[in-house]
Amino acid sequence: MSADDSSLVRCPRCGENGAPGARFCENCGTPLGAPAPDAGAPSEVTLELAPTVVDPDPATGEASNQRPCTACGGTIAPDGYCADCGAPGLSERDHFEERPAGWVAGVCDRGVRHARNEDAMALAAGDSFAALVVCDGVSSAPDSDVASLAASRAARDVLVAYGPQGSSTVQGATSRRVAGWTDAMVAASRAAGQAVRGAAEQLAATKGKDVADDPPSCTFVAAVVDGDVLVAGWLGDSRVYWLPDDGQAEQLSVDDSWAQEMIAAGVPRAQAESSPQAHAITRWLGPDAPDTDARCAATVPTGPGWLLVCSDGLWNYCSDPHAMSELVRRYATTDDPLSTAAALVRWANAQGGRDNITAALARVSPAVTGQR
């Protein structure tokens, strides 16, 4: 994730010259210098997931069965089910966790009802910087799981490039940094959109699917913690909540959804959210997306709290910011974001797990925010 390549790079897509060490084209967001993902194999296999370290079986070299049971922590037997509780072993794509720093972690889970996990998550963090990206694949389109993972990683890598260790570090006073991160967020969402299109083209090339008819697509939501600044960016209905320990909980993102548009037009919230079309999203990432520029919002916290980035698999069961704040606090028995995120995912599964569930948390504290 560090920019250690100092040579000039030319964008293979638009021809723009990138800055020395740039990992992404400033013009179109295409990753620079990164090898193209393997296009040949089925999507579930080609996805290379880094976050969870798994020791391969010394006898077979296979690691797939060695992941602990996500339900009880037991061992998954060779027949694919937990040896203790009988829960089916989930593939790396169906359930994964990331914990790039002690104060930043997330869990991405298939949920109960869906056959695949089309949610994706990509996190990065340093001492006082964190980038949390969640993309929710649109399940009506095939291979949205591939698209969402590619998108979330592309966006995360762009945000990292703007971070303190990156090539185009956002610097300056609070207001300048808010503006800088707003630009970075748009670059990240464009890169994510480009990654979805790239995934769609590869899938069309390898699987012969008519991508134009039913292209893979996903939502986009990202949050950045940069010292004392929180910036959110989004397309679609995945959300960012800021849940301060003291003070009013708020939803930083504003859904790009039919329900939200109706509310904006004056329809009462209850009526809008109970409509059958309530969940129809009006903006997304994908080959058929009208635009891929994230809308952004920022806040400057005055005290410690939890930053939550999640998909609708979680907030469907707990939409209101105040209720979400109480829920997070119920499970945040320690400052460990991983155990809290895992508890939120378990809670959503216990509510029925009707959708894929992603919960990514950053524990924003004065000690962290004060370092820069």
Partner 1 sequence: MAEFSAEVFQNEFLSDGATDVHAVVSVTCAGAGAAGTAGPAGPGGAAEIVAVDTSGSMQGRNMEAAKHAAAVAVDQIPDGTLFAIVGGSHVATRIFPYPNARVPMVAMEPGARAEARRAIATMSASGGTAISTWLRLADELFATAPVANKHLILLTDGKNESEPSAHLDQMIANVTGRFQCDARGVGDRWVVGELRKISTALLGTVDLIARPEDIAEDFAALVRKSAARGVAAVDLRVWAPQGAQVLFVRQVAPEVDDLTARRTEVNPLTGAYPTGAWADETREYHVAVRVPAKPVGSEQLAARVQVAVDGDVTAAGLVKAKWSDDSTLTARISPEVAHYTGQAELASAIQEGLAAKAAGDEATATVKLGRAVQLAAETGNDEATSRLRKIVDVENEAEGTVRLRRNAAKLDEMALDTASTKTTRVRRA
Range in contact with partner 1 (rule: CB under 8 A) among 162-170, 299-307, 308-316, 346-354:
346-354
Nearer residue to partner 1 within complex by CB, 79 or 246: 79
The answer to whether 57 and 65 are in contact (CB under 8 A) is yes
The 10 Å Cβ neighbour count of residue 365 is: 16
CB of 356 to partner 1, least distance (A): 12
The 10 Å Cβ neighbour count of residue 336 is: 16
Enumerate residues 112-141 that contact partner 1 by CB under 8 A.
112-113
Nearer residue to partner 1 within complex by CB, 19 or 112: 112
Counting every residue, how long is the chain?
A: 372
**Rounded-to-integer distance, Cα 357 and Cα 316, Å:** 10
Enumerate residues 25-64 that contact partner 1 by CB under 8 A.
none
Nearer residue to partner 1 within complex by CB, 98 or 109: 109
The closest alpha carbon to 226, from 368, 23, 102, 26, belongs to 368
CB of 139 to partner 1, least distance (A): 14
- Record the tokens describing residue 68, joined without a space: 């602990």
Check binding of 72 to partner 1 (CB under 8 A).
yes
Nearer residue to partner 1 within complex by CB, 209 or 346: 346
Range in contact with partner 1 (rule: CB under 8 A) among 236-244, 303-311, 344-352, 363-371:
344-352
CB of 262 to partner 1, least distance (A): 29
Nearer residue to partner 1 within complex by CB, 111 or 236: 111
Residues 82-101 as x/- pattern, contact with partner 1 by CB under 8 A: xxxxxxx-------------
Check binding of 73 to partner 1 (CB under 8 A).
no
Angstrom CA distances, 280 to 151, 248, 260, 262, stand at 20, 28, 10, 12
**Rounded-to-integer distance, Cα 101 and Cα 304, Å:** 17
The answer to whether 164 and 126 are in contact (CB under 8 A) is yes
